[in-house]
Amino acid sequence: MLGLGAYEISVITAMGIAVIFALSLNLITGFCGQISLGHAAFYGIGAYTSALLTKAGFPIGVGLLGAVILAGLVGIVVGFASLRVRHDFLAITTMGVGFLFVGITRQMDFVGGEMGVSGIPASGFGKPGFMLFVMLCVVLTILFSLHLKRSWMGYSFDAIASDEDTAKVIGLDVSRYKLAAFAMGTALAGLAGALYAHNVRFIDPESFGFVESITVLAMVVIGGIGSVPGVIFAAALLSVLPLWIQFFDEYKLLLYGGLLFAMMRFSPGGMAGLARRIIPSKAKGARS
């Protein structure tokens, strides 16, 4: 189909899922300024929910919807718990959620415990059809992110991210907007997790641990916190590099850490900020 082989289809599918996952965190951290170090927990909630529902005989549409709803609801609960904490304390709180998810799934036999869940039903679309479905989800997620960023809610998120105390002074209901950001971001993470589960057809607690949370955070920071195009580019690049370069997977965390350090030191705006500095300078040089 479309002249693509099985390998290319697999790579594109994995890349699309990573883009959705990264954009889901960008909505919370990039748009609203809420640091989350346990975002993989919501990715895992979506994966386990859809896997268990479809294994119980429900169609994949029900599994995806259940994943989105449950991840979003848990996100609201975490959001409530996080309303009184900021910055480092919020990061620690969300990191604790990630560890809690892994610990619970390890101990619960009905979700497979340490052994995880295998034999997850395929989408029923075939590999090419599932790739197209994932790409449709990617397009809808991108359009939603762009629309949200330019909406009144997006401007409110930006005000909260810039200065939460000032946002309160000018009359914004900061708590409500924080909860909205957590709900929407975690729901999208649940969608990404459900797609991941039906793509690989096997999940276990270690697939959604702290390393995965740091990986998606790296995608957001390297792409440019709050930048939709930058996060898309970084997520696509960092998700396919381990597939293209064999040695990269072994040293993934080392390279991600190096990239994060370099970006924070030389380009805090990530790739998007770097592009904004380069493009105007080229345009200025062309006019002179």
pLDDT band at 60 (very low <50, low <70, confident <90, very high): very high
User: Helix, strand or coil for residue 235?
Assistant: helix
Average the pLDDT over 221-238 and give the result.
90
Fold of 7-287: ABC transporter involved in vitamin B12 uptake, BtuC (1.10.3470)
Residue 79's H or E segment, with its range, is helix 60-81
Angle, alpha carbons 187-190-192 (nearest 5°): 115
How far apart, in whole angstroms, are the C-alpha atoms of residue 168 and residue 42?
Answer: 28
Indicate the burial class of 171 (C-beta count within 10 angstroms; 0-12, 13-18, 19 or more): exposed
Lowest mean pLDDT among 25-29, 174-178, 196-200, 243-247: 243-247
pLDDT at 82 over 80: no
Q: What is the mean pLDDT of the chain?
A: 86
Q: What is the distance in angstroms between the CA of the first residue and the CA of the last residue of the chain? A: 49
CA-CA distance, 151 to 162, in Å (whole number)?
Answer: 17
Mean per-residue pLDDT for 23-40?
91
DSSP code for 125: S
CB neighbours (10 Å) of residue 210?
15
Give the start-to-end residue ranges of the domains of the chain.
Answer: 7-287
For 260, the token pair is 């994060």
Dist CA 30 CA 161 (whole Å)? 8
* Per-residue pLDDT reduced to its tens digit, 211-221: 899 889 989 98
Q: How confident is the model at residue 131 (pLDDT cuts 50, 70, 90)?
A: very high
- How many separate helices (H) and strands (E) can be counted in the chain? 13, 2
Would you say residue 190 has pLDDT above 80? yes
More confident residue, 110 or 2: 110
pLDDT of amino acid 283:
47
Q: How confident is the model at residue 246 (pLDDT cuts 50, 70, 90)?
A: low
